[in-house]
Amino acid sequence: MPTSRITARARPEPAGFTLLEVLLVLGILGLMAALVSARLDTMLPSFRIKAAARELASTVAWVRSESVGAGRPMAIRYDVDQGQYWVVTANGAGAIPARLEPPAERFRMQSLPDGVRFQDVSFLNGQSAGAPTATIPFTYLGACEGHWIHLSDADGAEMTVEVMPLGAQVNLYDSRKEPPHAATP
């Protein structure tokens, strides 16, 4: 006669998390989010000036590329007072026009972010276009007049966008950098 063997089975552990564990994790995540958002508020102005400098550098590279690709001169016009810059294309004769009415010439217009402003645009010869506008032409070979764009923000942070004359190479600096002025005899 077969005997049956009764074995005690262990009760399976319930799967999942307890309410206490879920609340604890949510509390930690909420605390971390609060700390990160408070930290980002203090860093936002420095992000704005750096983003403006990178956007300027991108525009310079784009204008150089377009002038070489199209085989015609182009320019960037900086409006120091208004905190704006835009691309100017050559007219039919291949010349960069004198300042036109804003809507007629503003192509790929950009405005600096809130709290960021142009200090000036400086050139190798020591001149500075503090206001109102500076026009930097690019040849069909991609060369331009070397210039330094000085930006500042409300917190006193400064950045320099350096545009080299040949090839329009762009360098960014986290402070004000003056152009190496030509030596006078």
Helix (H) / strand (E) element for 176: namely none
Beta bridge partners of 123: 147
Q: What is the pTM of this model?
A: 0.69
Is the peptide bond preceding residue 97 cis, with omega within 30 degrees of 0?
Answer: no
Those residues with Cβ within 8 angstroms of residue 25's Cβ, 6 or more apart along the chain or in another chain: none
pLDDT at 161: 93
| 20-173 placed in CATH 3.30.1740.10 | no
Torsion angle, alpha carbons of 176, 125, 123, 154, to 10 = 40
Query: 10-residue block means of pLDDT along the chain (185 residues)?
Result: 62 77 85 71 73 92 89 88 88 72 65 90 76 83 89 91 84 87 46
Instruction: Check: CB of residue 80 under 8 Å from CB of residue 120.
Output: yes
Residue 88's pLDDT is what? Answer: 86
Q: Is 66 helix (H, G, I), strand (E, B) or coil?
A: helix
Helix (H, G, I), strand (E, B) or coil at 89: strand
Q: Could you tell me the end-to-end alpha-carbon distance of the chain, in angstroms, rounded to an integer?
A: 122
Domains of the chain by residue range: 20-173
Are 45 and 155 contacting, i.e. CB atoms less than 8 angstroms apart? yes
Token digits for 99? 């300042």
Element (H, E) at 160: strand 158-163
* CA dist., res. 75 & res. 10, Å (int): 81
State both tokens at 151: 């930006």
